[in-house]
Chains A and B, each alone.
Chain A
Amino acid sequence: MLDTRGSGLAYGEILHTTGEESSRAMCGIVGLFAKSSAIEERLGDHLAAMLAQMSARGPDSAGVAVYRDPVPSGSKLTLYSRDPLYDWEAVRRLLAGAFGGASVPSVRASHAVLLVEADAADAEAWVRQHATDVRVMSAGSVIEIYKEVGRPELFSADFSLTDFHGTHALGHTRMATESRVTTEGSHPFSTGLDLCLVHNGSLSNHNRLRRTLQREGIEFHTENDTEVAAGYLAWKLREGVSLEQALEDGIEDLDGFYTFAVGTADGFAVLRDPIACKPAVLAETEDWVAMASEYHAIAVLPGADDARVWEPEPGIVYVWEKAPV
């Protein structure tokens, strides 16, 4: 028996009016998974082109998670500071002192990537405790997350997105409907090592779920509902289930409407809620798999005209993973 309120959703995406810090009625999400070295080499170029197409869906802020250059040992942190003149070298020295080694920071706009000779969880915990003027955007061995307020085209230029090579990437453009536009409230969200999630939609049971997950030891750093979904997946993966199973469990446990795109160190997944009022389109060629909120963000990819294009079915988990090397 369906509530007739469903008819309103059917005609597009109504503004959600009861959300928390960052409800998002529109927003654009994109994902790109390279299947050839040609795509890997130009991953950032393609990602920037896709993000620009999603500008109208999310002109307030943009963010990307790029999976590239796995560290041979130790871990990789992406850190953010509001201070454009922030002394990243000072953080490096402190990290090197604590763990015996840390690379020269690779700085892009307000973010810096540091390689640390330490377990990723330990390095992340150390920064949260000792370098409280910076924020950890991501931690792991492959992931790098960059996000900032402003139009996606400016974001791509400021962060030199076209420089990036990598195996896969996710992107998000945010339209904030009632809450502050901040870097912290931007996507992607990462609450587990090498894990990230971008989201178009809204969750309604995130407060209760956040408390449940906190009891399981998952840490949250914002009031954002999307961070709860990311934390949920981090918890499931920590418990040893596969990404696919974690998302399938999420259909039961996450209440709300959503299209998710999820990245892990070697994989990429897409899930729409069973009611499916948020858009998503998938496409695949010999060279890539792509997802986007709207097809025109895929049309900019090479060979898109001949790609297999389809709409992901509601409540079905789609997963692509790199074959182990």
Chain B
Amino acid sequence: MGARAVSETAVEVVDLATTPLREVNQRLHDLAGGAGGPARWRVLNPRGAHAVACGLDAEIEVEIEGHVGYYCAGMNQLASVHVHGSASTGLAENMMSGTVVVEGSVSQSAGASAHGGLLVVHGDAAARCGISMKGVEIVVRGSVGHLSGFMAQSGCLVVCGDAGEALGDSLYEARMYVRGDVAGLGADCVEKELRAEHLAQVSDLLERAGFDDVDPASFRRYGSARSLYNFHVDNAGAY
């Protein structure tokens, strides 16, 4: 095919009912490093397939028309992936940059270990949303399940609904904002004052997520009490 300019208008349509997933992912991977090719893609009939649009590394837009299985948009870099359906375990896990948007709900471990980028969920996220997050920004329109933000190191989790048990258990420096009820805080996670800079951060994230009907001042902030950073025998039971 050779190098060619990225097409700004044409949409490349691929149908997973007729094209093998590996072939689709390979075509998307071939765009890495500015190799040129279609900049806009539509993926039809994902029907719960695993690893759809996984490992992308190009400034492209991928629209996925239906529900996806495990690890959709995992390790994403630069790309914008939009799922018009729900997603299973490990959505956008280890994402580095780019944007992932899900119109429906997502299963457990969404955004796990992700270093960067923006993850937006219009529905609910199940257990362990943002587990071990390392810089990603996550905005969930609905609620998140138990153990969300477990061992979160950096980044930001905004939850417009409620949070399940053990929110932010053993977290480091990530910021958590929850508008609804929190079923329980995990070890070393405490509520903190919502200051002007935090309000600005929530406003910015809600705007980028497109949730402009949500009042940023209605959130409460949670973060690390920093008491588990270094081992202390009095905390042995909490490790």
Question: Nearest CB to that of A299 among chain B residues?
Answer: B47
B88 and A310 form a contact (CB under 8 A) = no
Distance (Å) between the CB of A96 and the closest chain B CB? 49
Give A309 to B86 CA distance when docked, in angstroms.
8
B131 and A296 form a contact (CB under 8 A) = no
A296 and B112 form a contact (CB under 8 A) = no
Binds A, one of B32-40, B146-154, B195-203: B146-154
A295 and B69 form a contact (CB under 8 A) = yes
Question: Nearest CB to that of B187 among chain A residues?
Answer: A1
B88 and A279 form a contact (CB under 8 A) = yes
Q: A4-B239, A294-B88, A314-B145 are in contact. Are A10 and B109 (CB under 8 A)?
A: yes
Q: A2-B186, A276-B127, A296-B48 are in contact. Are A7 and B150 (CB under 8 A)?
A: yes
Chain A residues whose CB sits within 8 angstroms of the CB of B126 once the complex forms: 276, 311
Report whether over half of chain B's contact residues are helix, strand or loop; otherwise say mixed: loop
Give A254 to B169 CA distance when docked, in angstroms.
25
**Residue of A6, A279, A300, A304 with most chain B CB atoms under a 10 A cut-off:** A6
A11 and B112 form a contact (CB under 8 A) = yes
Q: A11-B109, A309-B86 are in contact. Are A299 and B48 (CB under 8 A)?
A: yes
B48 and A2 form a contact (CB under 8 A) = no
Give A104 to B66 CA distance when docked, in angstroms.
48
A7 and B146 form a contact (CB under 8 A) = no
Contact of B128 among A10, A294, A304, A310 (CB under 8 A): A10
* B165-209 at interface with A (beta carbon < 8 Å): 166, 169-170, 186-187
Contact of B131 among A10, A295, A299 (CB under 8 A): A10
Distance (Å) between the CB of B89 and the closest chain A CB? 6
> How many A residues are at the interface, by size bracket?
20 to 34
A6 and B147 form a contact (CB under 8 A) = yes
- Is B49 interfacial (CB 8 A cutoff)? yes
Distance (Å) between the CB of A41 and the closest chain B CB? 24
Chain A residues whose CB sits within 8 angstroms of the CB of B77 once the complex forms: none
Distance (Å) between the CB of B144 and the closest chain A CB? 12
- Is A136 interfacial (CB 8 A cutoff)? no
Distance (Å) between the CB of B175 and the closest chain A CB? 20
- Is A228 interfacial (CB 8 A cutoff)? no
Q: A11-B109, A311-B126 are in contact. Are A279 and B89 (CB under 8 A)?
A: yes
Q: A298-B48, A305-B66 are in contact. Are A314 and B88 (CB under 8 A)?
A: no
Give A200 to B11 CA distance when docked, in angstroms.
41
* A129-156 at interface with B (beta carbon < 8 Å): none
**Residue of B48, B107, B126, B238 with most chain A CB atoms under a 10 A cut-off:** B48
Chain B residues whose CB sits within 8 angstroms of the CB of A2 once the complex forms: 147, 150, 166, 169-170, 186-187
Chain B residues whose CB sits within 8 angstroms of the CB of A311 once the complex forms: 105, 107, 126
Chain A residues whose CB sits within 8 angstroms of the CB of B70 once the complex forms: 294
- Is B134 interfacial (CB 8 A cutoff)? no
- Is B237 interfacial (CB 8 A cutoff)? yes
B89 and A1 form a contact (CB under 8 A) = no
Question: Nearest CB to that of A56 among chain B residues?
Answer: B50
Give A311 to B145 CA distance when docked, in angstroms.
11
Distance (Å) between the CB of A143 and the closest chain B CB? 29
**Residue of B67, B70, B107, B145 with most chain A CB atoms under a 10 A cut-off:** B67
On A, residues with C-beta under 8 Å from B are 1-2, 4, 6-7, 10-12, 275-277, 279, 281, 294-300, 304-305, 309-311, 313-314
The 5 A-B pairs of least Cβ separation, nearest first, read A296-B48, A295-B48, A299-B47, A10-B128, A299-B48
What 6 new A-B contacts, CB under 8 Å, besides A7-B151, A276-B146? A2-B186, A276-B127, A276-B145, A299-B47, A305-B66, A311-B105
